[in-house]
Structure 1
Amino acid sequence: MSPRLATFVVFLLNGGVFGTWASRVPALADQVGAEVGALGLALLGASIGLAVTAPLAARLCALHGSRGVLIGSSLLSPLMLPVLALSQSTLQLGLTLVALGASVAAMDVSMNMAAVVVVRDLRRPLMPQFHAGFSVGGLIGSLGSAAAAQAQWTPMRHFVLVALVGVLVVAFIVKAIPGGVGERHREEATERASVLKSPVLWLLASVALCSAIAEGAAADWSALFMVRERGMGDAAGAYAYAGFSVAMALARWFGEPIQRRLGPHRLLAAGGGLAATGLGLVAAVPFPAAGYAGFGLAGLGLAFSFPVVMDLAGETGRRADGTGGERELGLVTTIAYTGFLAGPPVVGGLAHVSSLVLSLGFVALVTALIIPATWLARRAARRPASV
Structure 2
Amino acid sequence: MLAKSTAVFLVFVLNGVVFGSWAARVPALAAQVGATPAGLGLSLFGVSVGLIVAAPIAGRLCAAFGSRAVMVLGAVAGFVVLPVLGLTTSPLQLGLVLFVLGLTVGLLDVSMNIAAVTVTRLLNRPLMPVFHAGFSVGGLVGSLVAAFAAAVQWSPLRQFLILAVLGVAAVALVLTSLPAEAGERSRARSGDIVVGGPSPARRPVLWLLALIALFSAVAEGASADWTALFLVKDRGVPDSLAAAGYSVFSIAMALTRLSGERVERRWGPYRMLVFGASLAAVGLLAAVTVPVSVVAYVGFAFAGVGLAYSFPVTMSLAGAAGRRADGTGGEREIGFVTTIAYAGFLGGPPLLGQLAQWSGLGFALGAAAVIAALIVPAVVLVIRTRRRECAPPAVSAPTM
Query: Do the structures match in fold with TM over 0.5?
Result: yes
Which residue is 2:395 aligned to? Answer: none
Is this contact kept in 2: 1:117–1:179, CA < 8 A? no
1:308-336 deviations in Å (ceiling 9; x for gaps): 11111111111111111111111221222
Q: CA offset at residue 88 of structure 1?
A: 5.9
Which residue is 1:326 aligned to? Answer: 331
Q: 2:223 matched to 1:218?
A: yes
Which residue is 1:254 aligned to? Answer: 259
Is this contact kept in 2: 1:278–1:294, CA < 8 A? yes
Higher mean alpha-carbon deviation, 128-137 vs 42-51, is at 42-51
1:329-366 deviations in Å (ceiling 9; x for gaps): 11221222221232243334345555555544443332
Which residue is 2:210 aligned to? Answer: 205
- Measure, in 2, the Cα distance between the counterparts of 1:240 and 1:144: 13
Change (3 A) 1:21 1:261: same
Q: CA offset at residue 38 of structure 1?
A: 5.1
1:219-244 deviations in Å (ceiling 9; x for gaps): 33445555666x55346666554433
**Structural mapping, 1:27-106, within 5 Å:** 33-36=33-36, 39-85=40-86, 87=88, 90-106=91-107
Which residue is 2:307 aligned to? Answer: 302
Change (3 A) 1:295 1:140: closer
Q: CA offset at residue 77 of structure 1?
A: 1.6
1:99-128 deviations in Å (ceiling 9; x for gaps): 221011101100011111111111111111
- Measure, in 2, the Cα distance between the counterparts of 1:208 and 1:336: 5
2:187 pairs, out of 178, 184, 200, with 184
Q: Secondary structure at the residue paired with 2:180?
A: coil
- Measure, in 2, the Cα distance between the counterparts of 1:300 and 1:98: 29
Which residue is 1:11 aligned to? Answer: 12
- Measure, in 1, the Cα distance between the counterparts of 2:62 and 2:170: 22
2:340 pairs, out of 335, 340, 353, with 335
1:233 pairs, out of 212, 232, 237, with 237
2:318 pairs, out of 302, 305, 313, with 313
Q: CA offset at residue 24 of structure 1?
A: 4.7
Q: CA offset at residue 170 of structure 1?
A: 1.7
Normalising by structure 1, we get a TM-score of 0.87
Which blocks of at least 5 consecutive residues in structure 2 are unaligned?
393-400
Which residue is 1:118 aligned to? Answer: 119
Which residue is 1:373 aligned to? Answer: 378
Q: Percent identity among equivalent residues?
A: 53
- Measure, in 1, the Cα distance between the counterparts of 2:374 and 2:158: 45
- Measure, in 2, the Cα distance between the counterparts of 1:269 and 1:254: 17
- Measure, in 1, the Cα distance between the counterparts of 2:143 and 2:39: 23
- Measure, in 2, the Cα distance between the counterparts of 1:103 and 1:379: 36
- Measure, in 2, the Cα distance between the counterparts of 1:154 and 1:123: 45
1:178-201 deviations in Å (ceiling 9; x for gaps): 134342259988969421011111
- Measure, in 2, the Cα distance between the counterparts of 1:250 and 1:286: 27
Aligned residue-pair number = 385
Which residue is 1:267 aligned to? Answer: 272
- Measure, in 1, the Cα distance between the counterparts of 2:391 and 2:140: 46
- Measure, in 2, the Cα distance between the counterparts of 1:361 and 1:158: 32
- Measure, in 2, the Cα distance between the counterparts of 1:372 and 1:75: 39
Matched letter for residue 274 of structure 1: L
Q: CA RMSD in A?
A: 3.0
- Measure, in 2, the Cα distance between the counterparts of 1:143 and 1:377: 37
Which residue is 1:165 aligned to? Answer: 166
